[in-house]
Amino acid sequence: MVPRYGPSVVGGAENAARMLAERLVSDLGWDVSVLTTCARDSRTWADVDPPGETVENGVRVHRFASRAGRHPDFDRFSTPVLLGPTPSAEDQRKWIEMQGPVCPDVVKAAASSQADMVAFSPYLYYPIVHGVPLVRERAVLHPAAHDEPALGLPLLREVFESAGALVFYTHGERELTNRRFGVGHHRQLVLGLGVDRPSFDPADRAASARAALGLSPDEPFLVCVGRVDESKGTGLLGRAFAAYKSRRPGPLKLVFVGQVVDRPVDHPDIVVAGMVDEDVKWGAYAAATALVQPSPYESFSLVLIEGWLAGAPALVNAGCLATREHVSRSGGGLWFGSYAAFEAAVDRLTEAPDAARLRAGLAARGRAYAEAEFAWPVLLDRYARFISSSAMRARR
Amino acid sequence: MSPTDGRGAASDATGGTSHAPAIDHQKLLAEIDAEVQRKRESGDIPADLERELDLVFARFAPVDALEADFEQVLTRAEQATFIDVIAPVESSRPVVPIFKKVVRKVVGWYLRYVAQQTSAFAHAITRAVRLLGERVDVLEQASPVAAQRAAADGDVQPPSAPDLSHWAPTLARWLQATTGRVLHAEAGDGALLAALVEAGVDAYGVDPRPRPNVVNEVREDEAAVHLRALPDGALAAIVLSGCVDRMALGAQLQLADLVATKVAPGGTVIVLGTHPAAWAESHAPVHVDLSPGRPLHPETWQHLLAQRGMTESEIVAGPPDRAALAPVPKGDRVLNANIERLNALLFGPSSYALAAHRPE
């Protein structure tokens, strides 16, 4: 059960759920049904798709109309509930309802489902908050939890406690959840996200990607892939890079690839490429000196894993638990938590005498980690074992 | 109080694949930290530039991510004691910056007055925390924590967790009537855990060493840390091994407190320990001398658990430490009796299992 579903839905947890559902059907032959609302946009939760059953890439999708979407006064109501003193139980329930989507029918469908297990994701919406406690032992909660104010709502304790099993993106998310809700003894799995290597060798697309990005064949560059948005740390990266270039004039460039929400600082060595096709994206990973992931609030960062698969060493924000965990576990990159650390790390990756050797070593370690942990066959095997054993326990 | 990360492949000194250049990732990170320190001390980075950028970093690098590093968190707190009363005035709308400038000018005297007091208070608090940190450093040097670091600094850790799979039948018997989750801490490579799961026990494990791709549910966690985060009475049974062989005495007493509260009424606590005499014999002298603690006798665990309300304890001795002296065939009776006494003295059991129960 996810609050919204489909290829047109933009959302990390929802996309992860869709990819997993489709893979369980196509690769393992499982019978997977999705219970969801008719909404596509998490800002309104307005019904867009028609209610009823469809089959999408082999997955049976049941959509239910919502009784209400996002309440117009939600933002005003939300701030004191999340940031003020502990809210009353009634205010918490009201917060969940005003946030939307209020869809009792999807909750009823989950409660009456005959499935071996019912997976829920992410943790903070009405269908999940009301659905998990009804399904209990058969509920597998994929919370996609961040350290955000909503996670502190006391009402959520019952949701986490009643889930029969929990599946996390990262070890950091698991630690956060266990610390917050005391559910360390529940059945748990750190799964991550599955990633596919493209059908082509990314190195073969490096030259055409350089051309598409307006870079000369030998120009060194750092690449940042994903939404160009202040909240994703791209503003921070732009400013740090501009400062770096003022102290280290040279050919190094910074290329932003992805939807532009907030333009980074103007600088002759910063290229804002906008949306590009998959070939250019993978070619850019392969051609880049390093992939920079400046976002402080990633719950997994598929981009980082893709970069490693294409051979790019990583440079991540030390303040992001998930990406720092990936780098720490893989040894596939460096991190920065200050300008001085950014400068020192970029120096090591670009200017040090052993820079090329270092980049190759880091990239190889990152790639080994990505393939061992997040290649679809490995990930599906891990998930299938976990779900099977959880289902067996739930039946007892 | 030194920064620790201690995770995963980062401590491995080799590259990810056989063809990749070898990199010591931990060393690399330490070199970059040293370079950052050098830049700061030498004034290489202009103070204004660094302060401006660090304010931006503070917004986009949450302090929670630095949780394991006291020094970094405290440095961040010290930086945050400076309160900037010059609020930015930019806006996408044309008149608003002028309005903001006027407001800033009008209330500036008031904000400065409040900010000075707040900064002074915050500075005093961070100074007090730094002094406290220095005191804790001194205490750590004199405590078992320091010994733990000494052991971790050198190559003195046991190469692998002991093989416990021979205890599976005993534990399966003790746990056969258990309903609910059973924790094995430390589970090592998960062999005993797998045997318990196979026997129908709903078991999971924790182990401080990263063990990717283990088949059963073995999580990377310290036993005491994991137990502390659980609600009281959450577990049907707890199996302790590994950590009980090397923890400092104070930590073992805390562990005894934890298991007695985290196991549910009617539940079982099992300790799989190395026998103290066998432990000293079976490890390298450096490990024995630098280990923060040593195993307790089974009777001591029995006593500790009984003190915490656990009853009906049972001790089972493990196999002998090494091959014993063989009696002389048709030899002198006194000689063989002495050999038997020597065997009892020199070649006692290598390990033991103890089970105790929390009354309903």
**DSSP for A305-351, written as a single string:** HHHHHHT--EEEETT-HHHHHHHHHH--EEEESSHHHHHHHHHHHHT
Q: Which pLDDT value is given to residue A147?
A: 76
Give the whole-angstrom CA distance, residue B212 versus residue A361: 21
> pLDDT band for position A381 (50/70/90)?
very high
Instruction: Specify whether B197 is located in the same domain as B306.
Output: yes
Q: Report whether pLDDT(A48) > 80.
A: yes
CB contact under 8 A, B28 and A368: no
Among A352-366, B79-93, B228-242, which stretch is predicted with the lowest mean pLDDT?
A: B79-93
- Domain edges within chain A: 12-194+376-395, 202-374
- Among B153, B181, B202, the domain-final residue is B153
Provide the pLDDT for residue B11: 39
Closest CA relative to residue A325, chosen from A307, A354, A298: A298
Same domain, B143 and B169: no
Same domain, B257 and B186: yes
Which pLDDT score, from 0 to 100, does residue A149 have?
Answer: 83
Can you read off the two tokens belonging to residue B313? 């304890």
Tell me which residue of B301, B7, B296, B279 sits closest to B162, measured CA to CA: B279
> Does residue B106 sit within a domain?
yes
Beta bridge partners of A48: none
The boundaries of the domain holding residue B334 are 165-357
Q: What is the C-alpha separation between A242 and A266, in angstroms, rounded?
A: 9
- Based on the domain organization, do B27 and B124 belong to the same domain? yes
Nearest to A319 among B62, B226, B229 (CB): B62
Please say if the pLDDT value at position B34 is more than 60.
Answer: yes
Q: Identify the residue with better confidence: A28 or B90.
A: A28
Residue A354, number of CB atoms within 10 A of its CB: 11
Task: Give the pLDDT mean for A112-137.
Answer: 96
The more confidently predicted of residues A9 and A189 is A189
Is residue B100 located within the same domain as residue B249?
A: no
Write down the pLDDT at residue A374.
Answer: 94
Residues of chain A with pLDDT > 70: what percent?
100
**Which residue among B93, B125, B153 closes a domain?**
B153
Percent of chain B past pLDDT 70, that is, above it, reads 83
The arithmetic mean of pLDDT across residues A107-136, rounded, is: 96
Instruction: Check whether residue B329 and residue B241 sit in a common domain.
Output: yes
How distant is the Cα of A189 from the closest Cα of chain B, in angstroms? Answer: 7
Please state, in angstroms and rounded to a whole number, the distance separating the CA atoms of residues A324 and A312.
16
Does B121 fall in a domain? Answer: yes
ipTM, 2 dp: 0.82
Read off the pLDDT of each residue in A60-70 and give the average, rounded to a whole number.
Answer: 97
Does B264 fall in a domain?
A: yes
Q: pLDDT for B56-70, tens place per residue? A: 777 766 555 554 567
Interface test with B, best of A365, A381, A392, A395 (most B CBs within 10 A): A365
Give the confidence band of B177 by pLDDT, cuts at 50, 70, 90. confident
A299 vs B50, residue with greater confidence: A299
A26-35, A319-328, B71-80, B184-193 — which one is most confidently predicted on average?
A26-35
* A234, pLDDT greater than 80: yes
Q: What is the structure's pLDDT at B16?
A: 42
The verdict on residue B204 lying in a domain is: yes
pLDDT 10s digits, B197-222: 999 999 999 998 876 545 678 888 88
pLDDT band, residue B286 (cuts 50/70/90) = confident
Residues B139 and B190 in one domain: no
A358 vs B16, B23, B212: nearest CB: B23
Question: Based on the domain organization, do B129 and B178 belong to the same domain?
Answer: no
Strand B351-357 relative to strand B311-317: parallel, antiparallel, unpaired?
Answer: antiparallel
Local confidence band at B358 (pLDDT 50, 70, 90 cut-offs): very high
Chain A nearest CA to B320, separation (Å): 35
Whether residue B265 lies inside any domain: the answer is yes
Which CATH number does the domain A12-194+376-395 belong to among 3.30.470.20, 3.40.50.410, 3.40.50.10490, 3.40.50.2000? 3.40.50.2000
Residues 163-202 of B with CB under 8 A from A: 181, 183, 197, 202
Nearest alpha carbon to residue A323 among B62, B4, B215, B76: B62
pLDDT (mean) for B176-196: 91
Which secondary-structure segment (H or E) carries B272? strand B263-274
pLDDT above 80 (res B321): no
Average pLDDT over chain A, rounded to whole? 93
Give how many domains chain B has, as a whole number: 2
Residue located via tokens 């020094």 = B71
Residues B213 and B349 in one domain: yes
A171 close contact with B: CB closer than 8 A? yes
Q: B346 and B291: one domain?
A: yes
Tell whether B278 and B136 lie within a shared domain: no
B171 and B312 belong to one structural domain: yes
Name every chain B residue with its beta carbon within 8 A of the beta carbon of A248: none
Q: Do the domain assignments include residue B159?
A: no
User: Do the Cβ atoms of B60 and A393 come within 8 Å?
Assistant: no
Could you tell me the CATH number of the domain that includes residue B261?
3.40.50.150
Over 70: is that where the pLDDT of B18 sits?
A: no
The residue-averaged pLDDT of A205-228 equals 95
pLDDT of B23 strictly over 90: no
CATH code reported for the domain at A202-374? 3.40.50.2000
Q: What is the mean pLDDT of chain B?
A: 81
